[in-house]
A and B are shown apart, each in its own frame.
Chain A
C-alpha cells in the first residue's frame, strides 16, 4: 500500500516536471510578476513555439491549482475548488442512484440469463447492442421522454452501469466448481439454494470487478446527462460554461476536469474498499 502511494506520487511528479519542461522549451512567454509574493518578476521566453504547449492547450498546472483557490465568481466568498467539490457531490449522488439501480438491474438480468439459455440467446445481443449507441445521441432522447430532471440523469447513469454488471455476472454466476454444483444436486437442493449458497458467493469477485468499472461509468453518464437534462448544480453545467469560455480561462475547465476525475477515482476507491471488506479472507483475485 505504502509502496503503491510512493510509486503513484513519483509518477505524478515526473508528469508535472515534464509538463512544465515542455512549456519551458516550447510554450509561450512566462510572465509572473511578483512571483510567489517574493517581489521577483519572472520572465522567460521559451526558445521554441510548439502549439500544443501554449497556455491554451496546456496551461501551467500550478495555475490550474491556483484557479481552484480563487473566487468562483467575482466578489463571491466561495472558491472555485469549494464550488466544484459541491458540484461533484451533487453529481455523485445522481451517479450513485444510477449505479445502485444499474447494478441491481444487471444482477437481475444476469440471473435470468444464467437460468434460461433461451433468454440469454434472445436478449444478450440486445444488451450488447444497447452499449453501441453513443450516449450523446441517447441522452437527449431520454430527456425528451422523461423531461429535463434528475430522473433523466439517473436513467442515463443506470444505462451505462447495468452493462458491465450483466456481462460479468453471467460469467460469475457460472463460475462455481462443477463439483460443487453436482454436490448440491445430489442434495436435491432447490435452484434458489444453489443460487444463494454456491453461485452468488462464487460470483462476488466478478461482481466487484464489474462494479469498479460501473462506478466510473456512472459518473461519466451523470455528467453527460446533466447537459441535456438542464441540471444547474452539478459538474455538467460547470463543464459546459467553462468549455464555452475556454479561450479566456482554460484553467477553469482543467480544474473542472481535475475534480471530475478525482470524483471518479473516489467512487472507484469506495467500491474497492467495500470489495476488500466483503472478500476479506478469500483467495486472492486478479487485481483491477
Chain B
C-alpha cells in the first residue's frame, strides 16, 4: 500500500482507492486513442478534399488529345500512315544478296 501510494504521489497528485485510479487511467488512454483516430480521420478527409479539388479533364477530351498525339507523331513502324521508312535493318538484309554477285565478279 505504501509503495503504491508513493508511486501515485510521484506520477500525479492523485490518491484514492485503486479502482478509481484505474478507471481514470483507462478513460485517459481511451481519449488518447480517440483523439488519434480523429486526427487520422481528419487527415483522410483532407486528402479526399484535395483529391476533389483537383482539376479533371473529361475523358473524352483526354482521349482526343491522345488520338491527336498518335496522329501527329511520326511512327516508322506504321508505314500505312507515315509511308515507307528506310531502316538500318533493310540495308543490311539487302547487302548479303548483292555481295555474292559482286564478290564473284571481282574473283573472276
Are these two chains actual partners, yes or no? no
Which residues of B approach A to under 8 Å, CB–CB?
none
